[in-house]
């Protein structure tokens, strides 16, 4: 017999079915036992009457407790008028059990699965994430995440984008955060870096003639915990296009997200359509921040105030953190060093660089920055000039030889954007904590209580890598 999933039972009244799933709860009513059997799609009530069950099934039934995994064969019956449960998708039916088989037993979970109100602390939830993901809300976050990514992939494929997977073992890239380093065994003393973003690869893909690239790209940044970031790793919807103006990039992203939200979150509404394009200087002056919350009613959980921020300054004053990157002069790129200055401001690079504006664009939503991008520099000399202005040494510059070299072989003008998927998605799902939309996130202090990572490694492994760990 084929398996019937819980929600299909409403269409099978009078039929014998086989169910598989977890016991959500058990209610004893004298001799009769009610079990709610849960699967990924929902839940259905199973009625167990001893006289209907064979002997082994009766023994099984006696030991069944919440979270046991069962196979149940039984007959789907319509419920009487008074027994109908309007709050359940399968509330019009129940399954009269004929055979019950315990596929696996379960310990009492460390927190309740069918009660979201009494939530355990985050460390415990992450330690038992596989149980936490059984919660209805968490499961829905995972299902919606999958649907959303599916939408994005389809949309961009339809617009003739090509999905390219760029390396994870890569070279340190300057996106403004600390790198995660991976020691090389073949080249002792040398390190790969996990990419902070595929920025240089996607630019080189434009040189390669891909014209329209996207990737649901994992990005790794070793940053101290901040409320709006997931520590360690996150995903960007990374895009790059050739022969485009800034307008084309904004229009593409705006159309894609508008359609995505209308299809997947029909209850949401936009404060502005189309999304306003605001100048950085004006926004800073008016709101004191470059990510203003422009909602008309901040209590309305369905209001979405998207806005574009443009005309950013190309540079900002350097801070301590920028020095960490090895830059040593006066200017730090306000986004990243591949962002193009506005043509009319290029002369300012020689006279007053702080005044030069760039082709950077940020997308903000309800007070959060949910993505950024720019038109890129595609002229090797201009790129060198920017390197000089941010105080790169000859050695620093050498580490970008590959990109400047690529620009010598016919580089198309190009630009792109990389909306941060986890942040955007968590706002759409109404989750305050970004980790609620990530299957297996790190805790805020960047450790994983489930796998117990990071962890120490064997002496032999270190030996092979030529690494010695300093005590203390
Ligand atoms: N790579 C940039 C970032 O991670 C985004 C972009 O410029 O496309 O912020």
Does the pLDDT at position 173 exceed 70? no
What's the pLDDT tens digit per position in 321-368?
655 454 555 788 998 999 999 999 999 999 999 999 999 999 999 999
What's the pLDDT tens digit per position in 364-400?
999 999 999 999 999 999 999 999 998 888 888 888 9
Could you tell me the distance, in angstroms and rounded to a whole number, from the CA of residue 166 to the centre of ligand 1? 14
Pick from 418, 417, 9, 382: which is nearest to 217 by CA? 418
Does the pLDDT at position 62 exceed 90? yes
Cα torsion angle, 305, 307, 313, 319, sign: positive
For 324, half-sphere exposure in the C-beta direction (CA atoms, 13 angstrom radius) is: 11
- Give yes or no for a cis peptide into 454 (omega within 30° of 0): yes
- Give yes or no for a cis peptide into 274 (omega within 30° of 0): yes
What's the pLDDT tens digit per position in 442-468?
998 889 999 999 999 999 999 999 999
Pocket of ligand 1 (CB under 6 A): 175, 197, 199, 336, 372-374, 416-418
CA 176, CA 324: separation in Å to the nearest integer? Answer: 9
What pLDDT is attached to residue 324? Answer: 47
Does the pLDDT at position 206 exceed 50? yes
What pLDDT is attached to residue 318? Answer: 74
What pLDDT is attached to residue 322? Answer: 56
CA 388, CA 368: separation in Å to the nearest integer? Answer: 32
What pLDDT is attached to residue 305? Answer: 98
More confident residue, 243 or 120: 243
Q: Which residue spans within 105-255 are E strands per DSSP?
A: 162-163, 181-183, 191-193, 212-221, 232-242
User: Quick one: how far is CA 77 from the chain centroid?
Assistant: 42
What's the pLDDT tens digit per position in 177-186?
889 999 999 9
Q: SS3 of 53, please?
A: coil
Name residue, tokens 């941060």: 420
What pLDDT is attached to residue 78? Answer: 97
- Residue 213: pLDDT band (50, 70, 90) is very high
User: Quick one: how far is CA 125 from the chain centroid?
Assistant: 19
What pLDDT is attached to residue 116? Answer: 73
Mutate to test the pocket of ligand 1, among 197, 242, 403 (most ligand atoms within 8 A of CB): 197
CA-closest residue to ligand 1 atom 9: 372
What's the pLDDT tens digit per position in 404-440?
999 999 999 999 999 999 999 999 999 999 999 999 9
What's the pLDDT tens digit per position in 216-259?
999 999 887 665 567 789 999 999 999 999 999 999 999 999 99
Atom of ligand 1 nearest to the CA of 238: 8
Residue 225 zone, left/alpha/beta (φ > 0; ψ -120 to 50; rest): beta
Task: Please report, to the nearest 10 degrees, the dihedral formed by the alpha carbons of residues 62, 63, 66, 71 taken in order.
Answer: -80
Q: pTM for the full model?
A: 0.94
What's the pLDDT tens digit per position in 254-310?
999 999 999 999 999 999 999 999 999 999 999 999 999 999 999 999 999 999 999
Could you tell me the distance, in angstroms and rounded to a whole number, from the CA of residue 372 to the centre of ligand 1? 6
What pLDDT is attached to residue 411? Answer: 98
What pLDDT is attached to residue 174? Answer: 60
Could you tell me the distance, in angstroms and rounded to a whole number, from the CA of residue 235 to the centre of ligand 1? 12
Mutate to test the pocket of ligand 1, among 199, 203, 206, 246 (most ligand atoms within 8 A of CB): 199
What pLDDT is attached to residue 225? Answer: 66
């Amino acid at each position: 017999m084929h398996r019937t999933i819980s929600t299909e039972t409403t269409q099978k009244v009078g039929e014998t079915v086989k169910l598989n799933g977890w016991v959500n709860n058990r209610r004893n009513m004298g001799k009769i036992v009610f079990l709610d059997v849960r699967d990924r799609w929902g839940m259905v009530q199973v009625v167990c009457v001893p006289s209907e069950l064979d002997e082994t099934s009766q023994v099984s039934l006696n030991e069944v407790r919440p979270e046991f995994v069962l196979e149940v064969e039984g007959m789907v019956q319509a419920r009487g008028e008074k027994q109908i449960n309007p709050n359940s998708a399968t509330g019009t039916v129940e399954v009269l059990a004929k055979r019950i088989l315990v596929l696996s037993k379960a310990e009492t979970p460390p927190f309740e699965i069918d009660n979201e109100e009494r939530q355990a602390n985050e460390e415990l939830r992450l330690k038992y994430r596989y149980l936490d993901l059984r919660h209805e809300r968490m499961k829905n976050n995972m299902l919606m995440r999958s649907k959303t990514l599916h939408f994005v992939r389809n949309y961009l494929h339809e617009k003739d984008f090509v999905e390219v997977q760029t390396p994870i073992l890569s070279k340190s890239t300057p996106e403004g955060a600390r790198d995660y380093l991976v020691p090389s065994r073949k080249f002792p003393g040398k390190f790969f870096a996990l990419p902070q973003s595929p920025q240089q690869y996607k630019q080189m893909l434009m040189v390669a003639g891909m014209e329209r690239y996207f990737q649901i790209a994992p990005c790794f940044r070793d940053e101290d915990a901040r409320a709006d970031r997931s520590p360690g790793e996150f995903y960007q919807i990374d895009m790059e296009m050739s022969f485009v103006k800034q307008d084309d990039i904004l229009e593409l992203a705006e159309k894609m997200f508008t359609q995505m939200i209308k299809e997947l979150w029909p209850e949401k509404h936009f404060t502005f359509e189309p999304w306003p394009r605001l100048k950085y200087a004006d926004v800073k002056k008016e709101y004191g921040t470059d990510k203003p919350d422009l909602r008309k009613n901040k209590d309305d959980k369905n209001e979405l105030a998207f806005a574009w921020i443009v005309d950013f300054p190309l540079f900002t004053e350097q801070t301590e953190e920028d020095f960490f990157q090895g830059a040593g002069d006066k200017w730090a790129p306000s986004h990243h060093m591949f962002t193009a200055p506005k043509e009319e401001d290029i002369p300012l690079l020689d006279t007053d660089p702080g005044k030069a504006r760039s082709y950077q664009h940020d997308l903000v939503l309800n007070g959060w920055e949910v993505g950024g991008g720019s038109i890129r520099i595609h002229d090797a000399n201009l790129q060198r000039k920017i390197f000089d202005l941010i105080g790169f040494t000859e050695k620093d510059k050498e580490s970008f030889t590959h990109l400047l070299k690529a620009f010598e072989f016919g580089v198309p003008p190009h630009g792109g954007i990389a909306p941060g998927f986890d942040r955007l998605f968590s706002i759409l799902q109404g989750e305050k904590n970004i980790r609620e939309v990530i299957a297996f996130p790190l805790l805020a202090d960047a450790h994983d209580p489930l796998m117990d990572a990071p962890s120490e490694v064997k002496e032999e492994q270190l030996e092979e890598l030529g690494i010695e760990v300093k005590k203390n």
